[in-house]
Structure 1
Amino acid sequence: MRKNILIIGGTRFFGKHLVRRLLAQGHRVTIATRGQTPDDFGNTVQRLQVNRRDEAAMHAVFAHTSYDLVYDQMCYSPLDAAIALDVFAGKAGRYLMSSTIETYRHLVGTIQRPLSEDDLDLGQVSIDWHYPWRDPALADASYAAGKLQAEAVLLQDGRLPFASLRIAHVLAAQDDFTGRLASYVRTVQQGLPSHHLAGVGRTSFLNVEAVVDAMLWAGQADFLGPLNLACAGSLSAPLHARIAQLLGKPALLQASFDAETANSPFDYSHDYVMDTTRAHSLGHTFPAIDSWLDKLILDLHAHLQATDAEAACLS
């Protein structure tokens, strides 16, 4: 069934792919952004320019509109969640917030099994309205707590039919603004050692196609509350060794007990893996990491080589 869908964000990383897939399915898609990132959607989408952190502007832009489904990819704090509640209550058939595996970060090492949605009781999460959530200097430090408290505000209020998608670490060959997988490949290409924590904890991942598949499925489903999204299987910091084998390079792994010297981006002293039993019980299955990881690494390797060659020609 054709839906009227709003995406807050949608112009970078996997958000762009979500927009394209929704359009291919025949939905009417509106994207709301600050207008700072260009897109190539042409006239296939409706565009609204607004700062989602400006409550007055959000009310003005969405005063006379309603949507079957809202994907909010830019909800980073309880303040953002409070604006969403006031703006979309009664105007959204369903509200899907993009959340993150990082909501579980404070539990790593305390629970010796894959982390499930029930390990976080959103009804008991305290909301810190006085923390400087909008301070850019604190964006990284407050990311996990901001996402968790945003989820809690939405659930505790109850005015929106809300679900949060706790997305595992997303790996991509291009357009990944985090650059984490690229840093592994670069380290191998340059013959540099990978310094990783001695604990070698494993963690959960998704590729872009898998996360978009899950988001599309979630948009058609009717579950509420949090949901873990992660591919089958997990990987540890010695991902470096797998890349080295694929590229025919030596795997220069060096264990460290000092977090300050570790240069392995996905580096955890204990397992940091999400349990996807709930998603499976609701009818969604995820591909295995091994079904896509090697091709992704080789594609990224080729992309980085092509980028280096182009830069050399221009220098």
Structure 2
Amino acid sequence: MDRALIIGGTRFIGRHLVEELLDNGYEVTLLNRGKHANPFEDHSDVNHITGDRQSGAAIAEAAVESEAQAVFDMVAYYPGEVEQATRWLDDIESHAIESYVYISSGDAYGVDEIPKREGETPMEPCSDEQAVDDSPETYGPRKAEGDRRVFEAATHGFPAMSVRPTIVYGSHDYTGRFEYWVDRVRNHDQILVPGDGTNIHHIVAVENVVRALRTVAEAGEAGEVYNVGDRRICTLGETIETIASILDEDVEIVTASERELDTGGIDSTEFPLYNPDPHILSTEKLSALGWEPLSPRRAFENAIEGPVDPERDPGPEREAETAVLEELGL
């Protein structure tokens, strides 16, 4: 397998996937509308086809034109998109797709089990109304229903698989969630943290996600879903301490209760990477395929050293944090 079609491919995870595939000898074709700058425009092994992922015919035509053996669907946010893509790709007569990999989400899980395991932990239900809704509240249900469409396609003999990452961080991350804490460590001596700093929300380096996507395409089984998260799980406090160590900064972590945060008009859930309920994904199934992740330290270093261009600052305003610190007498 050495030819891949990526639906999307120019922004965050897709951009890293292109590099992962190139490093492993693939010829890559991107299918997207061309709304974002193509960082691989001058690369001889990366082709670009302008098309709309809403069109199953466009996806199938791109797969035929690129002679793709593996298809990576990076921008399927609605279950109908997964169903359409798998149906059209399965109907190609000129050559068979060897793997279709849908990027799902850890949000597809519907309960707070520790850890969440594929095939064991219940998935979010998804109503017909949720399946076409674009609000953040329906993201998990929509991803879960996309997984179900993958399972259905596999029952018809199509090699569809799914990868479920938790929160992804790394260079070119436009969400700003990890960069929020890097910025705080770089620019402030006191870092305000909700709770006691021991909360756990499993995160994953973008390099580990794209290694998972390639591994699943090459070695995964049709109809299966694979979790991906960093090998080592850090508390929020440990995440901040590791960032400070890499940047060689001396910072004080200041923890605050909900009542104390309220003095600055802050809710704890405003802080990126914070989750009052532990969120941990088992990665045993992925590891059994031969997936080899980066160490968390190396992954953090890559994220800190690499270019980032967040679209927004996703956490509380610093002025609000300062009000809480002052209330705490700091």
Q: Which amino acid aligns with 2:233?
A: S
CA distances 1:233-270 after superposition (whole Å, capped 9, x unpaired)? 11223233443454212222323378961242111122
- The partner residue of 2:286 within 267, 279, 284 is 279
Aligned to 2:322: none
- The partner residue of 1:98 within 88, 96, 103 is 103
| Structure 1 gap segments, 5+ residues each | 305-315
TM-score normalized by the length of structure 1:
0.80
Quickly say closer, same or farther: Cα 1:71–1:146, change in 2 above 3 A: same
Task: Say which SS state the counterpart of residue 10 (structure 2) adopts.
Answer: coil
RMSD: 3.0
Say which is worse superposed, 71-80 or 180-189, in terms of deviation.
180-189
Aligned to 1:251: 253
- The partner residue of 1:268 within 272, 275, 279 is 275
- After the TM superposition, which parts of structure 1 deviate over 4 Å for at least 4 consecutive aligned residues? 55-66, 257-260
Q: CA deviation at 1:229?
A: 1.2
Q: How many percent identity over aligned positions?
A: 21
- Distance in 2 (CA, whole Å) between partners of 1:82 and 1:193 is 45
Quickly say closer, same or farther: Cα 1:16–1:201, change in 2 above 3 A: same
Q: CA deviation at 1:297?
A: 6.3
2:210 counterpart of 1:212 = yes
Note if contact 1:197-1:267 (Cα within 8 Å) is conserved in structure 2: no
Aligned to 1:179: 176
Aligned to 2:118: 117
2:50 counterpart of 1:49 = yes
| Structure 2 gap segments, 5+ residues each | 310-330
Aligned to 1:310: none
Note if contact 1:70-1:94 (Cα within 8 Å) is conserved in structure 2: yes
Say which is worse superposed, 40-49 or 51-60, in terms of deviation.
51-60
Quickly say closer, same or farther: Cα 1:17–1:287, change in 2 above 3 A: closer
User: What are the equivalent positions in structure 2 for 1:69-148 lying under 5 Å apart?
Assistant: 69-91=70-92, 92-104=97-109, 106-108=110-112, 111=113, 113-120=114-121, 128-131=127-130, 133=132, 135=134, 138=135, 140-148=136-144
Aligned to 1:299: 305
- Distance in 1 (CA, whole Å) between partners of 2:28 and 2:229 is 26
Aligned residues: 291
Quickly say closer, same or farther: Cα 1:163–1:141, change in 2 above 3 A: same
Aligned to 1:169: 167
TM-score normalized by the length of structure 2:
0.77
- Distance in 2 (CA, whole Å) between partners of 1:250 and 1:290 is 20
Quickly say closer, same or farther: Cα 1:49–1:207, change in 2 above 3 A: same
- Distance in 1 (CA, whole Å) between partners of 2:196 and 2:250 is 25
Aligned to 1:153: 149
